[in-house]
Chains A and B, each alone.
Chain A
Amino acid sequence: MGKPLKWTFRVVVVVYMFLLVAWPVFLVAKNAFADGFADISAILTDPDTAHALRLTVIVGVQAVIINTIFGVGISLLLVRYDFPGKRLLSALLDMPLSVSPIVVGLALVLVYNGRTGWFGPALESVGYQVIFATPGMVMATVFVALPLVIREVVPVLEEVGDEQEQAARSLGAGPVQTFRRITLPAIKWGVIYGVVLSLARSLGEFGAVKVVSGNVLGETRTATLVVEEKYLNFDKGGAYATAFLLALIAIACIVVVSIIRPKEQVK
């Protein structure tokens, strides 16, 4: 490639990334520390915000656990077994990535709300509230992050093949032993990336949780909802500080992934 063209491309890309991502993200960090640590410590000591942060972690961790178990299981089924409708299922599993979070929330409300939902009234009559409560928030979060573990694990499973598993089985290992001793170590990194990405996505979910949670202060308000509420109530310092914490977690997640991944490729 000619030198002038190469430099033009380089400069265009760097400027574009700087104006679209790097500078704006830097400004949020700067605004969060506009008054030193005052805003950060204010949100950490405010009981409602602290509750929101705790709730975000609780919901996020539950969603990640569910998605990891489901994701690894369904990946094994998709790669290692044949069954009718497999291709359709595989395409449908990607659906959550392109559905609007508001539509996700609406869909869950239509089925699980306690008044007019398809299943909601029955569930509530046995004392199980989904919408405007933690279970609904977990479901919404699981929905939006659903494909992430699967997308990471399926290619790894296909790459390692099943010769070792067959060997283990022919030597008398049971299915549990085969999974624990052969399959799991082989797909370990794929699972870890999937978990880190799901965690980033789960902690940051906003739209779907907003619809199903009812957004009640001190009860069902999560960290992302706090950002919106604080900004709209002219508490910009608090909004920037909360946003900074969320951004820090998200960026930590992608940095962790980008550091681990090449190491695994060298191996």
Chain B
Amino acid sequence: MTTATIAPGPAAPPARRKARGGRRLNRASGLGLGVAMLWFSLLVLIPLIAVIVTAGEGGWGAFWDSVTNAQTAASIRLTVGTALLVTVVNVFMGTLIAWVLVRDRFWGQRVIEVLIDVPFALPTIVAGLVLLSLYGRDSPLGIDIANTRPAVFLAFLFVTLPFVVRTVQPVLAELDREVEEAAASLGASRFTTFRRIILPSLTPAIAAGAALSFARGVSEYGSLVLLSGNLPMRTEVTSVRILSSIENDNLESAAATAAILLVISFIVIVTVDALQRWVVRRG
């Protein structure tokens, strides 16, 4: 059960998608690749290029003006800042949850295992409603954070929950326990063993999970719609800002802000890819 991964993120030991001396393309597979690439281009590549091109259409000045517009800049600051904060929390909590799931055995563990994946499978609008029912106006706890910045933090925390857990878990499960026992028998304290033996092996997985959780946070939209109130300058995240530009039929300005998000997700992808290759090279 510990390896049951509904993995967002590279759940399996990383960089599996590696060339392993495959065959050359023949006519049928070449045709298949062509059709697949055509579909992928029409669906993903051309539309994403269209975002970048539209963002640049008015020249650098227009682009700069729309992303430094006070309201847009505030939304980018809020989104990136909150996503960073949430990522830090996830690094600690995600590693801790993975640790408990792999190294501990207790009644109800399977329930936690399923709960980890709930934020990944739950529709984001439902996620917002779910959080609102405990942390909104009718909160049984008496905590009402609806329409405030903590609500943005909470929503990000919810939707990014699975990422670090699911990247760290399989790596932790495959760690060699004998090395830890050896370290302990040589007099290393528990903390030293963790810091010197376990942590170095987990770091790439933690970093990959953190990158994915950051990317997911930055791009979040649905869970915030009902929860954060989308108040300009205060709780409006970048995706909401882009949507209001689209609804005002200002596609250029929407594309300019969207381009910033695309650059962020591209950097994240490159980072994760580099991390995975680094792990593979280290063996």
Contact = CB atoms under 8 A, between A and B. Distances in A.
Interface of A: 1-2, 5-6, 9-10, 12-14, 16-17, 19-25, 27-28, 31, 70, 73-74, 76-83, 86-87, 89-112, 116, 118, 139, 142-143, 146, 151, 154-155, 158, 175, 193, 197, 200-201, 203-207, 210-211, 224-225, 227-228, 231-232, 239-240, 243, 246-247, 250-251, 253-255, 257-258, 261-262, 265
Given A99-B261, A254-B6, A204 B122 contact: yes
Given A95-B44, A254-B114, A257-B4, A20 B50 contact: no
A70 B12 contact: no
B1 A262 contact: yes
B281 interface: no
A150 B48 CA distance: 20
B51 interface: yes
B96 A82 contact: no
A89 B117 CA distance: 27
B222 A207 contact: yes
A100 B273 contact: no
A6 B22 CA distance: 47
A221 to B, nearest CB: 13
A16 to B, nearest CB: 6
B36 A27 contact: no
Interface of B: 1, 3-4, 6-8, 11-12, 16-17, 19-25, 28-29, 32-33, 36-37, 39-40, 43-48, 50-51, 54, 93, 96-97, 99-100, 103-104, 106, 108, 110-126, 129-131, 133-135, 140, 157-158, 161, 190, 212, 215-216, 218-222, 225-226, 238-240, 242-243, 246, 251, 254-255, 258, 261-262, 265-266, 268-270, 272-273
A73 B36 contact: yes
Decide if the interface of chain A is mainly helix, strand, loop or mixed.
helix
- Closest CB pairs A-B (n = 5): A204-B123, A100-B219, A107-B47, A98-B215, A27-B133
Contact of B140 (A12, A27, A76, A106): A27
A109 B246 contact: yes
Decide if the interface of chain B is mainly helix, strand, loop or mixed.
helix
A90 B240 CA distance: 30
Contact of B4 (A103, A112, A239, A262): A262
Interface centre among A22, A146, A254 (most CB of B within 10 A): A254
Nearest to A154: B17
Contacts of B120: 254
B47 A108 contact: yes
